[in-house]
Structure 1
């Protein structure tokens, strides 16, 4: 594999409280490659940092930008909001994913039920559908140029065992009263193969979802925020946050370019949370994943291009996510937890700093697994002779913020009055953030959790953290 590693030593805490370097070099995702001329990438609203602000938001991805947007567009907005971004605008997970906004509509019911109970599990799945709806409604209402596609997404089981496991969860969710009338469940393997175009498909579940260009959606929100007075500073990493020694109830947000004092800090830092909030090293684990850009051959181009997005479920709990960008350039993006993710994880574990390093690119085993799927499962994929410009072109890394109990943390940071967090999306930020960030703003403005409309299990509470600690002690490892 190839990697360009350039890191800045920033005091943080990784596994076991060890300090780690935050990478400053980075691979360029498909999304970041496509916007190299945007002045937002290195925008600084003012030459110097403010000495103080009403609100300081750390992170300029979907969470940080939408939090600012909600604060600025509601009644009585703060007089000053500063967003601090360690590198380019929206260069973290939002700018590195595979472009899916796919609400889980049954599959997570078993896992969430085990962790939080069936009622909360049902609420989480309903929340994801509401979030997807909110994203689509906003993009359409505001006419956001972000390549929005709405169509059928497919969960495809590639073995009888996987099909049986998924069917059991689906049936349990349906029996509990979960809404499934919008899901087309195909249990006949021949029909599943025909609909999915995947040889060996045993069953599939289809429902409406979306793909989009996530960076451009954030850019649209960011421009609206800047027009309303937001102060954005890119390439301004936060090294620490500490109680102000001179202003009671204020926090000093410290950067290499100066210190900002504020009564309100928002951590929109996802996988990088423990670099500025060390106590969260136990609760949000950074783990690099890879996405591959693939140019389809003639058999999957033009009128024969893929018309669905996918989650291809493989034996052993692995999967591929597939975004075919069928309404734009037809480039196919492969992500997910593919069968060779274990090899990537072993490589990462050999040096803990790599868990945070999104300069990683072209990890061969991940791309080999993509080649294997396309050549063996997609009928006719390999019929054409090899040619330049066809097949996997390159891959990039993104850092997942894996939550210790599989769901994001939203709310007050315990024992840190004035500090708030919305992070730990476990690889599913696009179906959480558009409701979680507005919910966080409701709390910041004095609302109750009930006012947010979010599932109770998403709230960050001391009790939730205690349960995670108890489970970790009993099991001996983090629950993921």
Structure 2
């Protein structure tokens, strides 16, 4: 297997600790499909000023979708801060946002059972409604602003690939519907023959379809970032934060420490997702970094041109889930993510050395790629005809670091016992269906609003009681994708 930079090449220059242990930043990083396509962008390594400012009203750590949208919301509302600095450890948007499979798919039934067990049926229903609202806001913003980011809007499929999976999924769907969940926009196909025809997946047993989107996430972040820069934002890439400490000079201020100097601020926002515990060690037991793999696949002739896939997918297979983004309105490259059946082998490899959990220089982990090849060759009729051929098939895979949440949901709000510190992180592999409402909600809180003012489900709020429920033995379940 090809793993890019080995764990031995990691360095601890970025500082920080995770649960009292060294938390290194990889020297190298794999380039996702998205990052490969923007190598000439001057924003990749942009620094607004040569030196770090000594003070800022707000310092946001992380320049992905969360950090950038938080800055955008602060600057777009009345009485914006006079100075905002965003610090990014490496290239602009080179974390989870720049490494996912490019889908914004609101869960519209599947998580109801899991969330009901964790938070109760009312909160579970609110979460699914919140995801649809998030997707709607993303699409509305991209269309209104004419953002050039390959937006696709169409039917996404959940496809059950065994009778047992179909039965379990149908039971959850029925339970959500019976509770009053809105499903009139969801098409449920229980006939296997019809499910096969619609999905083009041989062996499909049932199918659920509703509206969702895919897009080029890096380009959306850059659009937002350019708006922020025009309003005076100071962006500093390649500036990893080593620690956040109480200012010895000004009561109530925080020093954001980096190898390039320190910035003093009364307000800190952790938009650090999986890397949160590098600078906020107490969160090591609430947010766990875990490397994940995505595959870039060039479709063969039978799935190109007029025969190209026209829907995004969640393929519910025995042992795992494949997410599929066919980029049907762009270059037709098919991106595979999700927790496919062999992601468990990747997890075993990661667990053998804790440093690997946050090493996104990993690439082309063979068992994960094998599972992608198995699905395409056995379930997509005609896919393997004419293969292998140069330039066709599973071309490349990259790693991204998911911030697994101890209770499956992101943490939004004040950091307990640290006045002036705020967090929006731990998206559990499902950030695109949360961030476009969660980041604005965080800004509402920062500006003095109540949780009710955010319009977000109550279970997302970061409260001491929520952390207490997680306790000392968190269960980092597999990501929601």
Which category describes the TM-score, using the shorter chain as reference length?
A: over 0.9
Q: Distance in 2 between matches of 1:477 and 1:437?
A: 25
User: Which of 66, 82, 97 in structure 1 is aligned with 2:100?
Assistant: 97
User: Which of 121, 124, 134 in structure 2 is aligned with 1:121?
Assistant: 124
Aligned to 2:208, the other structure's residue is in SS state: strand
C-alpha spacing 1:478/1:386, structure 2 compared with 1 (3 Å): closer
Q: CA RMSD in A?
A: 1.0
User: Which of 399, 421, 440 in structure 1 is aligned with 2:423?
Assistant: 421
Over residues 266-316 of structure 1, what are the superposed CA-to-partner deviations in whole Å (9 max), with x where a residue is unaligned? 000000000010000000011111000000000000000000000000123
Aligned to 1:61: 64
Q: Distance in 2 between matches of 1:178 and 1:23?
A: 44
Offset of 1:18 from its aligned partner?
A: 2.2
Aligned to 1:107: 110
Over residues 175-199 of structure 1, what are the superposed CA-to-partner deviations in whole Å (9 max), with x where a residue is unaligned? 0000000000000000000000000
Offset of 1:479 from its aligned partner?
A: 5.0
Alignment of 1:408 onto 2:410:
yes
Over residues 437-474 of structure 1, what are the superposed CA-to-partner deviations in whole Å (9 max), with x where a residue is unaligned? 0000000001000000000000000000001117x3xx
Q: Distance in 1 between matches of 2:364 and 2:131?
A: 32
Instruction: Note if contact 1:13-1:281 (Cα within 8 Å) is conserved in structure 2.
Output: no
User: Which of 449, 452, 455 in structure 2 is aligned with 1:453?
Assistant: 455
Over residues 397-452 of structure 1, what are the superposed CA-to-partner deviations in whole Å (9 max), with x where a residue is unaligned? 00000000000000000000000000000000001000000000000001000000
The equivalences for 1:75-474 within 5 A come to: 75-316=78-319, 318-469=320-471, 472=473
Aligned to 1:4: 5
Aligned to 2:184, the other structure's residue is in SS state: coil
User: Paired residues, what number?
Assistant: 474
Q: Distance in 2 between matches of 1:189 and 1:477?
A: 35
Instruction: Note if contact 1:24-1:87 (Cα within 8 Å) is conserved in structure 2.
Output: no
User: TM-score if structure 2 supplies the norm length?
Assistant: 0.97
Q: Distance in 2 between matches of 1:76 and 1:453?
A: 21
C-alpha spacing 1:47/1:261, structure 2 compared with 1 (3 Å): same
Q: Distance in 2 between matches of 1:73 and 1:385?
A: 51
Aligned to 2:25: 22
User: TM-score if structure 1 supplies the norm length?
Assistant: 0.97
Q: Distance in 1 between matches of 2:10 and 2:43?
A: 23
Q: Which runs of 5+ in 1 are unaligned?
A: none
Offset of 1:11 from its aligned partner?
A: 3.2
Instruction: Note if contact 2:406-2:475 (Cα within 8 Å) is conserved in structure 1.
Output: no
C-alpha spacing 1:283/1:385, structure 2 compared with 1 (3 Å): closer
Q: Distance in 2 between matches of 1:53 and 1:385?
A: 56
Aligned to 1:119, the other structure's residue is in SS state: helix
C-alpha spacing 1:456/1:25, structure 2 compared with 1 (3 Å): same
Q: Which runs of 5+ in 2 are unaligned?
A: none
Offset of 1:383 from its aligned partner?
A: 1.5
